[in-house]
């Protein structure tokens, strides 16, 4: 559910949606790390000015903790050319 939301949100923001890759790594029963891989030019859009875009995404995702009792860490990585 969370991974699907992040994928759709990311695809709406980036200029090159065909290269976007989302990786969800389950650390344990209560914690997951989600990494968004995007084009180098799109990482700035995903992070936003002063980190406001990624922080708002983290805030929305933190609301999912109430439903599935899982915490998420979200990272943005640039794809190597």
Which CATH number covers residue 36?
Answer: 3.30.300.20
The model's confidence at residue 81, banded by pLDDT at 50, 70 and 90, is: low
Q: Is the pLDDT of residue 70 over 70?
A: yes
Range of the domain at 69: 2-78
The pTM assigned to this predicted structure is 0.87
**How many structural domains does the chain have?**
1
Tell me what pLDDT residue 14 has: 93
Per DSSP, the residues of 19-76 read G-EEEEEEEETTEEEEEEEE-HHHHHHHH-GGGHHHHHHHHHHHTTHHHH--EEEEEE
Percent of the chain predicted with pLDDT > 70: 99
């Amino acid at each position: 559910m969370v991974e699907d939301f992040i994928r759709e949100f990311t695809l709406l923001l980036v200029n090159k949606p065909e290269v976007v890759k989302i990786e969800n790594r389950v650390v344990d029963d209560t914690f997951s790390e989600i990494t968004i891989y995007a084009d180098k030019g799109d990482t700035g859009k995903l992070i936003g000015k002063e980190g406001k875009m990624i922080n708002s995404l983290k805030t929305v995702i933190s609301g999912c903790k109430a439903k599935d009792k899982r915490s998420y860490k979200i990272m943005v990585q640039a794809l190597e050319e």
